[in-house]
Amino acid sequence: MGTLTKDRDREHWRFTDRAAGEKGDIQVLLIGSIPYENIDNVDWNGDEYYGDPQVYCFFLYKRKKPYEHIGCYEQHIPLSGNALPFYTEIVTYDQVRRLSRRLGIEHFS
């Protein structure tokens, strides 16, 4: 989870420059999509370091990562107390990273 900031043109998103004191315009989650056929196994109980499920994948893509797509998503909390939160993609991670690096901002935070 981190924040993004609208660039000067007010159209494109970039990493928030914490070193310059920026707070960010929107809080997002970085979410990667893994195709089902690339998943080898899931350990639902986690391990001795992390209690969350561990997903074991085949790394089939050029970048040596299991993800088919990585995006920055905004979380929405439904008004109904029983409904689960849902997420909408704001921008792809590659688009944000490319602009941020051009501006000298290296890290998503």
pLDDT digits (tens, 9 = 90+) for 32-65: 998 898 899 999 998 889 889 999 988 876 667 7
Helix (H, G, I), strand (E, B) or coil at 64: coil
pTM: 0.80
Mean pLDDT of the residues in the chain: 91
∠70-13-86 over CA atoms, to 5°?
Answer: 50
H runs (alpha helix) in the chain: 93-102
The rounded percent of the chain whose pLDDT value lies above 90 is 64
pLDDT in tens, 76-90: 998 887 889 999 999
Highest mean pLDDT: which range of 17-21, 58-62, 65-69: 17-21
Four-residue CA torsion sign, 104, 63, 65, 50? negative
Nearest to 2 by CA among 23, 29, 33, 20: 29
Cβ atoms of 93 and 30 within 8 Å: the answer is yes
